[in-house]
Amino acid sequence: MGWLRTLPLLLTGILSACAGKPPQGLGVREGRLAACPLSPNCVSSQADDDRHRIAPLALRGDPDEAWARLRELLAARPDTRVVDSGPDYLRVEFRTRLGFVDDGEFALDRQTRVIHVRSASRVGYSDLGKNRGRVEEIREALGGRLPSP
């Protein structure tokens, strides 16, 4: 019966370990999001290698309207917590069903008419394609919601 009392504490400890701490160096530096680590649990539209590269979110119509729609979409996702939101940078935390936390970043580039994206797991080596799949899910959700030309 005593183990029943310690079970909630044990589960809280395990889930806290899954969350990890936010990595240093997030944000936009000289027009670029942070590079992905060597592990396969990260995707970025600014990656130089095929393993990590993913297409940016292409914009149609007014970039600021598209940016507002992205922020609205992310704020409405139950697995997402907005951590930082500005006129051209957005950072979110995605929580998986198992309690792992992934860091998502979005950077609006009005000149090239894209939103650059980076999504990376905080802990572990492989994410079994979760970050790539999530970005594609967001792209699809935005597809019908971005302004028309």
Q: How many CA atoms lie within 13 A of 133 on its CB side?
A: 7
Q: What is the sign, positive or negative, of the torsion defined by CA atoms of 85, 87, 40, 140? A: positive
CATH number of the 2-20+34-143 domain: 3.30.310.80
Q: Which pTM was predicted?
A: 0.82
Q: Are 104 and 96 in contact (CB under 8 A)?
A: no
Which carries the bigger pLDDT value, residue 1 or residue 83? 83
Instruction: Tokens 């970005």: give the residue.
Output: 135
pLDDT, tens only, 12-52: 334 444 567 878 889 999 999 999 999 999 999 999 999 99
- The stretch 103-125 carries a mean pLDDT of 96
Instruction: Tell me what percent of the residues of the chain surpass a pLDDT of 70.
Output: 83
- The stretch 62-81 carries a mean pLDDT of 96
Return the domain boundaries, the chain: 2-20+34-143
